[in-house]
Amino acid sequence: MSTDRPDHPYDGNFLHEALQYVAAKTNNAKCPFCGNTNWTYENEGGVLVPVPKVAYVPMSNRAFFGPAPAIPVITLTCTECGFVRHHNLPMVKTRIDGSNG
Ligand SMILES: [Zn+2]
């Protein structure tokens, strides 16, 4: 796995693949609050295709010297009401790796 991004270990190829995997699994998923089926994501561009930014869900509210325990995620936002959903990147990677092996 490339470490071309200093703030997380996921390279652009994986993030693009993860977004495609989540999109295929949740195709036409309705927002639980407004029923909209259109979702968007924060992206950081990319050489060939836009890739989603990585966000972190903290697992503790304690102060840490250094990185606090957190779940790396990509987020999808409902284009109507702004509801944000998270997809756990280590879990998505496990599924993608499993389907490739
Ligand atoms: Zn919504």
**What pLDDT does 23 receive?**
95
Alpha carbon of 19 to ligand 1 centroid (Å): 19
**What pLDDT does 47 receive?**
62
Please give the chain's pLDDT, 101 residues, in tens.
Answer: 444 566 778 988 899 999 999 999 999 999 999 999 999 998 876 666 778 999 999 998 888 888 789 999 999 999 999 999 999 999 999 999 998 75
Q: What residues make up the domain containing 63?
A: 12-100
Alpha carbon of 57 to ligand 1 centroid (Å): 21
Backbone angles phi, psi at 94, to 5 degrees: -60, -45
Contacts 24+ apart (CB under 8 A), 11-16: 12/46, 12/47, 12/51, 14/93, 14/96, 15/51, 15/52, 15/54, 15/74, 16/46, 16/49, 16/51
Is 63 a domain residue? Answer: yes
Tally of domains in the chain: 1
| Residue-wise burial string across 36-49, b where 16 or more C-beta atoms lie within 10 A, e elsewhere | eeebebeeeeeeee
**What pLDDT does 3 receive?**
46
Is 49 a domain residue? Answer: yes
Alpha carbon of 100 to ligand 1 centroid (Å): 33
Q: DSSP code of 52?
A: B
**What pLDDT does 92 receive?**
97
Is 5 a domain residue? Answer: no
